[in-house]
Amino acid sequence: MTWQPFYVGDGRPRDVDLGPPPPWRSFPRTPLHRQFQPPDGLVSAVNAALALRRPLLVTGAAGSGKSTVIEQVAAELKLGHVLRWHITSRSTLTDALYRYDALGRIHAQRLERSAGSDDIAPFLRLGPLGTALLPTPQPRALLIDEIDKSDLDLPSDLLDVLERGEFEIPELARYGEDIVQVREWGGDDRHPVDRGRVECSAFPFIVMTSNGERDFPAAFLRRCVRYRMPMPTAASLRRVVEAHLEIDAEHSGPVDTLIAGFVERLAANESLAVDQLLNAVHVLTGTAAPGEADEREVMELILRELSRA
């Protein structure tokens, strides 16, 4: 059941059954690597990035599936869980490499001065990029999401690390012990770091996504394999819908009409995301789909242009 008036607006408490959520809104979240449908040229771009040990820069509109490709690659090549670095205007290279709680260590030193303890390890954690650069037999998978949201200097700051595949943790380079067990990002596993140097043995598979809101320096672009998500077609959108939802014969015609209207709006330069189409199809084909009186209003809510609040 996907649609019914759960909320009536009369203020009276009642028991309701919300039914199962859309497959892509089930929690704990499950990867969508089986459902992802790579557009033309993306498979070749991924293979080029893997062969050249270069990051893959994927540009396209919001909701076009840019960040999902890495889930499929990581699953197919058994690269383990995907490390994620979500970029904001405040993101820095240092935070992506490692985090050091200097104040926490000072506080602990004051409390434990009598015991003579000065262990730095509890106050260090590798960031997502730092974890991806740990020496491992197989490459790790790292998503750098929405890099065009970063400070202007961040892409240039990344150049040396991406070129050399290594970095230094200054706090450990000055530390009295050579080997320190440092926690990785997203877990409690610890890895030995020798004299503050982290050096990858297999360059990670890195996907960087961009909504195309800014340009990047040529020095940064030449170190990437670049791919732009193409404009969806009715056929490609139908494949995406069928990968996520089962469409019976009764709803096949209305779904095709919905897809055709979606493609027309994209061609008119309206800002829409593919997951909006999935949401609309999910509601339209549900066992308790809105009737004719409500359908237009519901579809307008779900398919509202992204450039409008």
CA distances (Å), origin 100, targets 121, 162, 169:
9, 22, 9
The C-alpha angle 244, 46, 166, rounded to 5 degrees, equals: 120
2 bridge partner residues: none
- Report the alpha-carbon distance of residue 101 to residue 107 in Å, rounded: 10
Give me the pLDDT at residue 1, please: 40
Give me the pLDDT at residue 131, please: 98
Which strand (E) or helix (H) includes residue 250? helix 249-267
Given strand 124-126, what is the order of strands in its sheet? Answer: 98-100, 124-126, 179-183, 190-194, 197-199, 166-168
Dihedral sign, Cα of residue 35, residue 36, residue 41, residue 46: negative
CA distances (Å), origin 25, targets 22, 53, 158, 174, 244:
5, 33, 33, 47, 11
- What burial class does residue 14 get, using C-beta atoms within 10 Å of its C-beta: 0-12 exposed, 13-18 middle, 19+ buried? exposed
The two tokens of residue 157 are 């700051």
Give me the pLDDT at residue 2, please: 46
Give me the pLDDT at residue 19, please: 77
Helical residues (DSSP H) of 77-125, grouped into ranges: 93-97, 102-111
- Report the alpha-carbon distance of residue 127 to residue 186 in Å, rounded: 9
| pTM of the full structure | 0.88
Give me the pLDDT at residue 296, please: 84
Give me the pLDDT at residue 112, please: 66
- Report the alpha-carbon distance of residue 92 to residue 95 in Å, rounded: 5
Give me the pLDDT at residue 185, please: 95
User: Per-residue confidence of the chain (309 residues) as pLDDT tens digits?
Assistant: 445 568 888 888 988 887 788 888 888 887 778 888 999 999 999 999 999 999 999 999 877 889 999 999 999 999 999 999 999 999 999 999 999 998 888 887 777 665 556 789 999 999 999 999 999 999 999 999 999 999 999 999 999 999 999 999 999 999 989 999 999 998 889 999 999 999 999 999 999 999 988 899 999 999 999 999 999 999 999 999 998 888 888 788 989 999 999 999 999 999 999 999 999 998 888 766 677 767 888 889 999 998 776
The two tokens of residue 7 are 């909320």
Asked if 260 and 57 touch (Cβ cutoff 8 Å), the reply is no
Which value, to the nearest 10 degrees, does the dihedral of the CA atoms of residues 219, 40, 277, 291 take?
170
DSSP secondary structure code for residue 147 in this structure? G
Closest CA to 62 of 161, 209, 164: 209
CA distances (Å), origin 227, targets 179, 256, 294:
41, 28, 40
Closest CA to 148 of 214, 56, 204: 214
Closest CA to 85 of 69, 97, 100, 72: 97
Task: Give the total residue count for the chain.
Answer: 309
Give me the pLDDT at residue 117, please: 62
Closest CA to 156 of 70, 227, 218: 218
